């Protein structure tokens, strides 16, 4: 890969310095042929050391860092030279794109056709000061240097393609085991610094060693009060919040995100985690408390999206400044019964990451909320995968289109996959209850209506869905044109008010919205 890297910077930089850590191939020969100065440093499990040796031999005012498996985007030289004339910035973040195939062209990766995941922003162009240095045996960074110099960071429209994270390359290198070993060593060697604990906790998460991730994050968090203010707790705090979230300790997850915001300002990861904690907390609430949490989550995601243009040196949650927050916002809007707004956000998320299944399912759900069964079904057919979500949504779409038998068949597919868990947990109490009750099964509909009226305890499978305005609106839409409007009358009676305060008022408002005329007395609601 080295020839491709060196060819990509030809004519765009003034000097090339390569540090060889013990290659057995033609690395030195290739580098010298391309005009590079080559220095040797035997490999000793320290990623910072060869980078710092290269810095020691650099002579320019600025340093551009590339690895051998990376290539600079074409025509980057002019942008680099303009950036180096900027007196207000010491460190520029470049756009790094991970290739999904080792044989992909730069154009395929940069267009998204052969991109493994969303781009990341990494500090790669730095002013060469006497104290510029990388720190860390692994996950080496210039974070401490940036902090000492006041965090003067900016984003540069220069793109780098990375070919070293394809699945084959990762398997060959055994990166995860190596990183864990080096980070455990670094924690022993730097017991008073939060940085290695943050990196190690995140690596444990990646290795699915969740208890160790939590213990490591807590050990690092205990050091926080004694750290210099310029040293960021970003990675450590994110690892801690993720550990709490996985354990279901959602209030602790939210508090950790809020502590990070108070300490370091609103970064995209912090705001995203705060919103996620609130969103999940809302799943456990009923009535006004749930809506209040969802509104707070909505504001959290909007705050992240409002500052997304600010360069985030340390973001580790993919898409937190952009599509991930947008997708979570869309889900919250769905749960707040704002499907038109949700639809726009899901579509924007899908445009950013076309292959994202959750955004696709969310778009289909928003269309179903808007009564557009055909459009939703076109997005999802044929349903596939181990999760119940696509089968459930397709069943709902078929029902809206009057295809009852097809809906029942799809519903069986959803039920068979429930044990795999929902991709979006809010669908469990809502959509399954909806489809089961409205799939042309009057006895189930009557059962649910009786539960809503408080005439008997709601079955466990229906618990949590009965008081939702979206659900009530769907019930009304189903029954009004089907000649079963009389089943809605008990929902308006005083007995229902005593069991579910406010429900008759809400139901009247929904019927009025749908154009139904509510007549007091024994008559059923009539279509106006």
CATH no. of 2-172 = 3.90.550.10
Structure confidence at residue 30 (pLDDT): 92
Tell me how many degrees the CA angle 52-53-58 measures, rounded to the nearest 5: 95
Structure confidence at residue 470 (pLDDT): 72
Contact of 217 with 195, CB cutoff 8 Å:
no
Burial class of residue 491, CB neighbours in 10 A (0-12, 13-18, 19+): buried
Structure confidence at residue 207 (pLDDT): 87
Name residue, tokens 């500052």.
307
Structure tokens at 425: 């947990």
Q: At what angle do helices 389-400 and 404-416 cross, to 10 degrees?
A: 170
| Of residues 276, 274, 66, the one with CA closest to residue 159 | 66
What residues does each domain of the chain span?
2-172, 175-353, 441-527
CA–CA dist 117, 337 (Å, integer): 31
Structure confidence at residue 311 (pLDDT): 60
Structure tokens at 150: 């006041």
pTM of the model: 0.72
Structure confidence at residue 349 (pLDDT): 93
Burial class of residue 335, CB neighbours in 10 A (0-12, 13-18, 19+): buried
Name beta bridge partners: 71. 161
- What is the distance, to the nearest Å, from the Cα of residue 73 to the centroid of all Cα atoms in its chain? 27
Write out the DSSP string of 410-479: HHHHHHHTGGG--SSTTHHHHHHHHHHHHSS-HHHHHHHHHHHTTSSPPPGGGTTTTT-HHHHHHHHHHH
Q: Are strands 153-162 and 91-98 parallel, antiparallel or unpaired?
A: parallel
Structure confidence at residue 69 (pLDDT): 92
CA–CA dist 57, 39 (Å, integer): 9
CA–CA dist 275, 338 (Å, integer): 18
Quickly count: other Cβ atoms within 10 Å of residue 197's Cβ: 27
Structure confidence at residue 498 (pLDDT): 67
**Phi-psi bin for 515: left (phi > 0), alpha (psi -120 to 50), beta?**
left
Q: Say which DSSP state 486 is in.
A: G
Query: Do you know the residue count of the chain?
Result: 528
Structure confidence at residue 462 (pLDDT): 44
Alpha helix locations (H) across 193-287?
A: 194-206, 210-221, 234-246, 250-264, 268-283
Q: Write b or e for each residue in 371-383: b if 16 or more Cβ atoms lie within 10 A of its Cβ, otherwise e.
A: ebbeebbebbeeb
- What is the distance, to the nearest Å, from the Cα of residue 516 to the centroid of all Cα atoms in its chain? 42
Structure confidence at residue 213 (pLDDT): 95
> Is 175-353 assigned to CATH 1.25.40.10?
yes
Three-state DSSP state, 95 = strand
Structure tokens at 413: 């597919």
Q: For the chain (length 528 residues), average pLDDT per consecutive 10?
A: 91 92 90 93 90 94 94 91 94 91 89 81 93 89 87 91 69 72 91 91 91 95 85 91 95 96 91 96 85 96 81 76 93 94 96 87 94 92 92 88 82 84 81 52 47 49 53 74 68 72 84 80 47
Cα 145 to Cα 65, 195, 231, 232, distances in angstroms: 15, 13, 10, 12
- What is the distance, to the nearest Å, from the Cα of residue 442 to the centroid of all Cα atoms in its chain? 40
Name beta bridge partners: 527. 516
Structure tokens at 282: 């809302």
CA–CA dist 93, 311 (Å, integer): 8
Name beta bridge partners: 72. 160
Residues 6+ apart with CB under 8 A from 526: 485, 516, 517, 519
Name residue, tokens 């229902």.
496
Cis before 382? omega within 30? yes
């Amino acid at each position: 890969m080295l020839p491709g890297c060196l060819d990509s910077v030809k004519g765009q930089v003034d000097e090339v310095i390569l540090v060889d850590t013990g290659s057995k191939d033609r690395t030195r020969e290739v580098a010298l042929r391309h005009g590079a100065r080559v220095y040797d440093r035997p490999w000793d499990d320290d990623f910072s050391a060869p980078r710092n040796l290269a810095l020691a031999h650099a002579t320019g005012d600025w340093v551009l860092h590339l690895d051998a498996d990376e290539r600079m985007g074409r025509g980057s030289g002019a942008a680099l030279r303009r950036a180096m004339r900027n007196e207000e910035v010491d460190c520029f973040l470049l756009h790094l794109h991970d290739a999904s195939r080792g044989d992909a062209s730069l154009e395929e990766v940069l267009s998204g056709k052969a991109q493994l995941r969303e781009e990341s922003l990494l500090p790669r162009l730095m002013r060469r000061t006497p104290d510029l240095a990388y720190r860390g045996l692994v996950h080496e960074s210039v974070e401490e240097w940036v902090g000492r110099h006041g965090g003067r960071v900016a984003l540069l429209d220069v793109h780098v393609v990375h070919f070293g994270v394809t699945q084959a390359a990762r398997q060959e290198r055994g990166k995860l085991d190596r990183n864990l070993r080096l980070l455990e060593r670094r924690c022993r060697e730097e017991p008073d610094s939060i940085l290695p604990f943050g990196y190690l906790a995140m690596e444990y998460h990646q290795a699915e060693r969740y208890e160790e991730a939590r213990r490591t994050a807590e050990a690092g968090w205990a050091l926080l009060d004694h750290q210099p203010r310029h040293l960021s707790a970003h990675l450590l705090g994110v690892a801690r919040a993720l550990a709490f979230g996985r354990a279901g300790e959602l209030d602790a997850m939210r508090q950790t995100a809020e502590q990070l915001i108070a300490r370091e300002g609103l970064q995209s990861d912090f705001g995203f985690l705060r919103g996620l904690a609130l969103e999940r907390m809302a799943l456990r609430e009923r009535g006004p408390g749930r809506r209040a949490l969802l509104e707070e989550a909505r504001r959290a995601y909007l705050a992240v999206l409002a500052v997304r243009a600010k360069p985030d040196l340390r973001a580790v949650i993919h898409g937190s400044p952009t599509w991930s927050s947008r997708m979570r916002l869309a889900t919250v809007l769905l749960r707040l019964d704002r499907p038109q707004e949700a639809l726009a956000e899901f579509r924007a998320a899908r445009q950013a990451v076309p292959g994202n299944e959750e955004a696709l399912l969310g778009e289909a759900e928003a269309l179903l909320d808007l009564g557009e069964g055909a459009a939703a079904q076109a997005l999802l057919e044929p349903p596939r995968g181990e999760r119940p979500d696509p089968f459930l949504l397709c069943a709902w779409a078929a029902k809206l289109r009057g295809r009852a038998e097809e809906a029942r068949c799809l519903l069986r597919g959803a039920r068979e996959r429930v044990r795999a868990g929902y991709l979006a947990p809010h669908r469990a109490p809502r959509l399954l209850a909806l489809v089961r009750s409205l799939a042309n099964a009057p006895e189930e509909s009557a059962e649910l209506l009786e539960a809503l009226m408080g005439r008997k305890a709601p079955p466990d499978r229906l618990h949590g869905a009965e008081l939702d305005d979206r659900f009530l609106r769907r019930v009304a839409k189903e029954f009004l044109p089907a000649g079963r409007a009389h089943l809605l009358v008990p929902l308006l009676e005083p007995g229902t008010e005593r069991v579910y305060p406010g429900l008759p008022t809400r139901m009247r408002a929904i019927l009025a919205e749908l154009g139904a005329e509510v007549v007091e007395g024994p008559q059923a609601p009539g279509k106006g």
